[in-house]
Amino acid sequence: MNFDYIIVGGGSAGCILADKLSESGKHTVLLIEAGGSDNSLWYKVPIGYAKSYYDPKVNWMFYSEPEPQLNNRNIYCPRGKILGGSGAINAMIYVRGFKNDFADWADNGNPLWTYDKVLPFFKQLETHPDGETEYHGGNGPIKITQMKTGAHPICSHYLNACREIGVEVNDDFNGENPHGGGIYDINVNKGYRSSSNYEFLAKAKGRSNLTVMLDTIVTKINFTGKRASSVNISKEDKTEESITANREVILSTGAVHSPILLQRSGIGPRDVLAKHGIEVIHELNAVGKNLQDHICASLYFEANVKTLNDDLNSLWGKAKTAINYVLFKKGLFALSVNQAGGFFRGNKNLVNPNIQLYFNPLSYQIPKDGSNNLKPEPYSGFLLAFNPCRPTSRGTIEISANDPLAKPIIRPNYLSTINDQNEIIQGTKLMLDIMKTEAMQKITVRQTVPDYQLDTEEKILDYFRDNSGSIYHLCGTCAMGDDVTTSVVDQYLRVHGIENVRVIDASIFPNVTSGNTNATTMMVALRGADLILAEDK
């Protein structure tokens, strides 16, 4: 078999690339996904992501190595193993990042990626309720729902608390100014998840020039000299075959799998490849380095007003919630539990916000036994959580063996800089200031977790070291840039020193964007497809 373009990974980026590269009918396109089909209703219903949190059928369920600054805990790193990738199982918060994030991308040797140059692709991506405006698109595949029309009433107390501490309420975190508290937008369309697999790939699947392979692992990229010629694949029956790429192999397997596939194929740091007996096709030291992620921790509270806990802790409440969704596509099943939040300055001298908050009208503990059973606390409750927007800690990802099914070695290196430790203190103090307001005191019975006061910086850091975890925004491991010692791809997303291989996914972020990363990943795919097609003219 041979195809013009072979796209490895059917996630948020890969589904968009498959649509765009097959759209003209000129080229044959193969999309290869390690996971299975996305046709279960649970992946379409927004609340269904709770069922995929610990489900090995649709989730790679990776863990980091013991993290030195987090008391040597192994941090959970879920990744989608399904058509649609992590975008099929995430919490759907739709945030693009800030203008200065992309200024930094451009300053890293990528002038094609300034905010002004990526904004048209963000607009092309979406259909916003406000229609076509300076900052939004009105006719794109990804449909945006503003949760302010359906958020739980308790969120109004949080917004009043923001006003009390002197922070404006912001109706649009993706507009001119991201600063302030508010209710998040989500990529949901009339009660169903609006992700790239449903909005891009679904319309392309019937094309004769597009082939989609599921439950298929790409074990290696093959080269003639330094030109990619084919990929080896393995299916569930363990049989292997080679498929020829006439034009390009495009990696869209995300921040974990893209660097380890390059390493298995002989592209990466020489010492890593030598350790596993892999022939060096091209030494590229940055492959698997520059790993970045947002890390968060939550505070839990008991409320004296009803929250989503009350709806989900009774049979009648669950029945009402289900009926509301089935009949009207409204309520919790049609939304994210991460309803309110915003972007704040932990230090008043900062120009841009450096702390992202989440206010959830639901309190739940993530099971520590790995069971797929996220239950609400047995009382009316809510939680506040935060993560620093632009951490300065950097980690690594590398293969543990020359085996496509071997677990990767993930070392995020969280809190390894003084800056990141200071921002943890800033973010926690911000949450505590919000909780001291009249608006929040009025509805709060007590803080339940932790069951002690975080009244010193030492206690704050200790709590964070014991209880923080990833918010699942891994990126940067095939960074884009013009310096071959610190980057993996150029601004056209071509792997340095190699012909016919590109990487198009969140691994190319030179720096993590401020906020949730899925919208930016989809933008990267649209921009990447445009760059590929421009070369074809």
Q: Which residues are catalytic?
A: 473
Residues 6+ apart with CB under 8 A from 316: none
At residue 18, the 3 state secondary structure works out as helix
Strand partners, 300: 383, 449
Left, alpha or beta for 85 (phi > 0: left; psi -120 to 50: alpha)? left
Strand extents, DSSP E, 367-520? 381-388, 395-398, 409-411, 444-449, 469-470, 501-503
DSSP state of 412: -
Distances (CA, A) of 151 to 48, 243, 302: 18, 49, 19
| Radius of gyration over every alpha carbon of the chain, rounded to an integer in angstroms | 22
At residue 48, the 3 state secondary structure works out as helix
> Quick one: 13 exposed, middle or buried, by C-beta within 10 A (0-12, 13-18, 19+)?
buried
Do the beta carbons of residue 34 and residue 260 sit within 8 Å? no
The tally of CA atoms less than 13 A away on the side-chain side of residue 229 is 7
Nearest partner of 47 among 191, 173, 159, 190, judged by Cα:
191
Residues 6+ apart with CB under 8 A from 352: 98, 100, 179, 345, 389, 514
